[in-house]
Amino acid sequence: MPDTATLFATTFITLHIGHSVGDHWVQSSCQAATKGLPGRAGRLACGRHILGLTLTKALALIPSLLILDLTVTALGLTLGLGLDAASHYWADRRTTLAKLAQTCGKAEFYSLGTPTHPAHPVTVAGTPAATLGTGAYALDQSWHTLWLGIASLIIATT
């Protein structure tokens, strides 16, 4: 029987892979564009994104556990993936994560790479220049990685 550390490491790595695929390849453009909107449309888009994301993580995790002959409990899997899904939904509604960033003194970093940042990049013409990422994206992904770690600990120890 594998030790808890092996189960945690396998679970975390696999969930991280599933997260990256689910957050970037499985999520539709419509979900990405509307999941942060206020009201029913935003909540439904975010919910559909979380459903696809969580299924992607489960579909990544199950074969890894089977191939490596690792066992988890149904309770641990349900609690871990459920908490991860709830934390992801919370952050992806956008206003919540923006408020957390502001509360933690990270509002300027949150706006990095956008026209609202005081030192936003500009083109020669003085218009906002496109960037490869934003502070909001970096904070979003680090938030998700934190909860992937917590979910992995729950799955490995429950």
Residue 46 lies in a domain: yes
Q: Give the model's pLDDT for residue 59.
A: 97
Per-residue pLDDT band for 132 (boundaries 50, 70, 90) equals: low
The sign of the CA dihedral 155, 68, 144, 49 is negative
pLDDT of residue 23: 96
| Residue in 149, 140, 153 with CA at minimum distance from that of residue 27 | 140
Per-residue model confidence (pLDDT) at position 112 = 80
Asked if residue 110 is part of any domain, the answer here is no
The number of distinct structural domains making up the chain is 1
Within a domain: 108: no
Confidence at residue 78, expressed as pLDDT on a 0 to 100 scale: 97
Residue 120 lies in a domain: no
Kindly state whether residue 99 falls inside one of the protein's structural domains.
Answer: no
Query: Quick one: pLDDT at residue 135?
Result: 85
pLDDT mean over 143-156: 98
| 105, part of any domain | no
The reply to whether 42 falls in a domain is: yes
Domain, as residue range, for 146? 4-89+134-157
pLDDT of residue 127: 74
Residue 19 lies in a domain: yes
Res. 143: pLDDT tops 80: yes
CB burial string 77-96: b at 16+ within 10 A, e below: beebbeebbebbbebbbbee
| Three-class secondary structure of residue 47 per DSSP | helix
Q: What is the pLDDT of residue 134?
A: 83
